[in-house]
Amino acid sequence: MIEVLFLLFAAIALGAAINVLAQKHVLYSSLSLIVLLTAISGLFILMQAEFLAVINVIVYAGAIMVLFVFVIMLLNLPADEDGEDRLRWLKLIGIPMGLFLSFMVIRTVWDVRATPLTPELAGTPQAIGASLFTDYVLPFELTSLLILIALMGAVVFAKKDL
């Protein structure tokens, strides 16, 4: 059962990921990205990380992507025209870089030995909260500081004469 579901969600995620790049219209790309994020949440649930799965949907699919779609609609961006290919040279570099990246990914997957999930507490909010506020409290606080700075920067950009 779990294998079937894994293959299903993995196939959806891969298909959506390819579609993000293949679509010409940016709105379709972002819609595919939403499908991709939801499918990844499905994979998280199969790994018993329910909290992570739900937060992934709330934050990315439910909030950030809504903003993306909102801005795309607001600007009413047209589909990409088949004009002069400005990325000609990047394609040449892209192929070796892509090969290198896939080599690294395959090697990492090959090397890492999967450890079995630790009992019940693996993906619960309690476990995540406890590790966030004990082991990872410094990165956590620094991230919040970073977000605050970005927020202030956005306000300064938006309102030039404060």
Partner 1 sequence: MIEYLSSREFLILFAKMIAIFGGVMGALAYTTLLERRVMAFVQMRPGPNRVGPFGLLQPIADGLKFLFKEQIVPTNANVFLYYAAPIISLIPALLSFSVIPFGPDLKIADVSVSLLLIFAITSLGVYGIVLGGWASNSKYPMMGAMRSSAQMLSYELSLTLSVVGVLMISNTLSLSSLVQNQQGTWWGFIPRWNIFLQPVGFLVYLLSGIAETNRLPFDLAESEQELVAGWHTEYSGMKFAMFFLAEYANMVTVSALATIMFLGGWNGPSLPGPWWLQMALPTIWFLLKIAAFLFFYIMVRASIPRIRYDQLMYFGWKVLLPIALANILVTSFLVAVL
Residue with smaller CB distance to partner 1, 87 or 162: 162
Shortest Cβ 145–partner 1 spacing (Å):
19
CA distance 153 to 31: 28
Residue with smaller CB distance to partner 1, 125 or 153: 125
Positive or negative torsion for Cα 53, 55, 58, 61: negative
Residue with smaller CB distance to partner 1, 77 or 101: 77
- Which residues of the shown chain bind partner 1 in the complex (CB under 8 A)? 1, 27, 31, 34, 38, 41, 50-51, 54-55, 57-58, 61-63, 66-67, 69-70, 73-74, 124-125
Shortest Cβ 124–partner 1 spacing (Å):
6
Cβ distance 45 to 53 under 8 Å? yes
Residue with smaller CB distance to partner 1, 44 or 89: 44
Cβ distance 27 to 72 under 8 Å? yes
Cβ distance 16 to 36 under 8 Å? yes
Residue with smaller CB distance to partner 1, 90 or 137: 137
What burial letters (b/e) apply to 53-86, b meaning 16+ CB within 10 Å? bebbbeebbeeebeebbeebeeeeeeeeeeeeee
